[in-house]
Amino acid sequence: MGRGPLSFFAASPLLGPTISSPSSSLVALATLSVLLRGALLKPSLPLRRGTRVVHMDIPSADLTGAHAQEMAALRAENAALRASLCATREQLAIALAPLDVDARAQREADAHLRSMESLFMQTPALINIVRGPEHRYSFINPPAQVVLGPAAKIGGRASDGLPKFEGSQTEALLESIRVSGQPMSIKEHTATIGSEVRSFDITWAPLLDHAGTVQGIITFAIEVTEQVAAREALKAMVVQLRDERVLRERFVAMLTHDLRTPLFAARMGGQLIARIADAPADVLRFAQRIVNSIQRADQMITDLLDAERIIGGDHPAPAREACVMNDLIAETLDELRIIYGDRFAVVAPTPVEGRWNRQDLRRVLDNLCGNAIKYGDPTRPVTITVGVIGEAAHVDVHNEGNPISADDLTTMFHPYQRSATATASGHKGWGLGLTLASGIVAAHGGTLRAESSIERGTTFQIVLPLG
């Protein structure tokens, strides 16, 4: 038999470009490794068996001459191929190492994010995560879901759920953060949720993967509505205290002037008495003026002290006695008619009896009826209506004329406050009369309120428990 064609596994196409490429499949590398360790480069002779051709291995010891030389060359080539394969393996290991590190880092980052999401579900802060250029929700914790409402769903766009924060374009803001990778914060920003305006401290931050690439945006918000309201209330209180200080200074000036008037009258009366001691009638008249002046000064001081107690929150329980409201009104109007004339009308179908402090209620009635005369229409009567509803006495003091503004109705019972109507009338006052009246009624367990309009005029209503 002549030298037949020898076939070698070394001629396999697996040793072609697959070996030299760093991106070869690991399966191919494993196959090559096995081949090169075992049956690779073994010579064989073709034998025909029927229609098939099989190759029979030829022991290397039987090779002589040219075959031996060829085998030696093949062995050298085999060694070179083995060395090349080892080098390729090392190159692949180096090339694949970063990929393995990246995959491991990504797995760790994903696990960390999952653990953080578990924590986010329990925090009271509002937290959500959006991903991709369309900013679709991938996470919404319960507090955020309550604020965002049912429109915010996993997989849905942020624009479908985010409230429209005043002064910001939500979509543009999210896109800016996604592109730049820079966080953004807004303090005490307002959002209209339903019919309610609420305030939030909000931070938007990029969500980065292990390589620093923006994968999404996390929103962290804390509601500060109560804190903002408390601060605004404190500001209003500071303004109120500043205004009260100005009013107090003005009040002290008025008090000084008003007290000097009766005291000056009393001093002048005393001096006149000394000059006309031999005229008994004149002495009696000036003596009465002195008494009246001292009483006026005393009443001013009493009103001031009582007002200060009421302003300080001290409402001492009044000493009560059996009274008839109709009689108290009649006594009050008798004195006022001396000054203002018969401009009062009383509607009192039946006597209204109760247990109250007579002197205190006289002061309340005197203030309300006097105000109605001074600030009402001078051509129209002041009407006092008395009745009982349930277990309480009701007294309405009504006058026509310029109405009290809505703003003045909310502040007129505050100390040192005078309505625009009272100020424009030219009548002097300290702005304490209604404060005193309201405090006295409250000490009796009752209420004093006012309503005013052009059509119906002005009415002050006293409601007092009978007992």
Q: What is the pLDDT of residues 129-148, one digit of tens each?
A: 999 888 899 999 999 888 88
Higher pLDDT pick, 129 / 291: 129
Say whether pLDDT at 106 is over 90.
no
CATH annotation of 321-465: 3.30.565.10
pLDDT (tens digit per residue) in 366-385: 889 989 998 899 899 999 99
Q: Domain 121-223 maps to which CATH number in 3.30.2350.10, 3.40.50.1400, 3.30.450.20, 3.40.50.1980?
A: 3.30.450.20
Q: Is the dihedral of CA 213, 214, 216, 218 positive or negative?
A: positive
pLDDT (tens digit per residue) in 213-252: 888 999 999 999 999 999 999 999 998 888 877 777 776 6
| DSSP letter for each residue of 179-198 | HH---EEEEEEEEEETTEEE
The percent of residues above 90 in pLDDT, for the chain, comes to 25
Select from 227, 205, 224, 225 the least CA-distant residue to 216.
205
Say whether pLDDT at 295 is over 60.
yes
Q: How does residue 277 score in pLDDT terms, banded at 50, 70 and 90?
A: low
Domain extent listing, the chain: 9-108, 121-223, 230-311, 321-465
Whether 244 contacts 428, CB under 8 Å = no
**In 38-169, where does DSSP find H-type helix?**
66-120, 142-148
What gap in Å lies between CA 168 and CA 204, rounded to an integer? 13
Higher pLDDT pick, 2 / 153: 153
- The answer, as to whether pTM is greater than 0.75, is no
pLDDT (tens digit per residue) in 13-60: 333 433 344 344 444 444 444 444 444 444 554 544 555 555 555 454
Say whether pLDDT at 322 is over 90.
yes
pLDDT (tens digit per residue) in 151-171: 888 998 887 765 554 434 677
Higher pLDDT pick, 179 / 307: 179
Select from 376, 386, 325 the least CA-distant residue to 353.
325
Q: Are strands 184-193 and 44-49 parallel, antiparallel or unpaired?
A: unpaired
- Which three-class secondary structure state does DSSP give residue 284? helix
Higher pLDDT pick, 283 / 442: 442
pLDDT (tens digit per residue) in 393-450: 999 999 998 898 888 888 888 877 777 666 665 666 667 788 888 889 999 999 999 9
Select from 320, 303, 359, 322 the least CA-distant residue to 444.
320
**191-195, 286-290, 335-339, 346-350: lowest mean pLDDT where?**
286-290
Class (C level, CATH) for 230-311: mainly alpha
Q: How much is the pLDDT for 97? A: 61
Mean pLDDT of 257-282: 71
Whether 93 contacts 86, CB under 8 Å = no
**157-166, 199-208, 260-269, 359-368: lowest mean pLDDT where?**
157-166
What gap in Å lies between CA 190 and CA 186, rounded to an integer? 10
